């Protein structure tokens, strides 16, 4: 997971048969299937941006 410090933007990389990149921005929900976890992008940036 790469988290931008300048804007609300997160990139998540996962690997199954090859590398897959997912991009999240704005008020999207970040889905981390490998961890069985969903979290709002806004929670990462709470109090920062």
pLDDT tens for 10-32 read 999 998 889 999 999 988 999 99
Q: Is the pLDDT of residue 34 over 90?
A: no
- Identify the pLDDT of residue 47: 87
Written as one string, the DSSP assignment of 9-25 is EEEEEEESSSEEEEEEE
Q: CB–CB of 10/30 below 8 Å?
A: yes
The reported pTM is 0.79
What 3-state DSSP class applies to 44?
helix
């Amino acid at each position: 997971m790469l988290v931008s410090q300048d804007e609300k933007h997160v990139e998540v990389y996962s690997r199954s048969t090859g590398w897959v990149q997912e991009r999240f921005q704005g008020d999207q929900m970040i889905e981390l299937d490998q961890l069985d976890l969903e979290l709002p992008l806004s929670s990462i940036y709470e109090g920062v941006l």
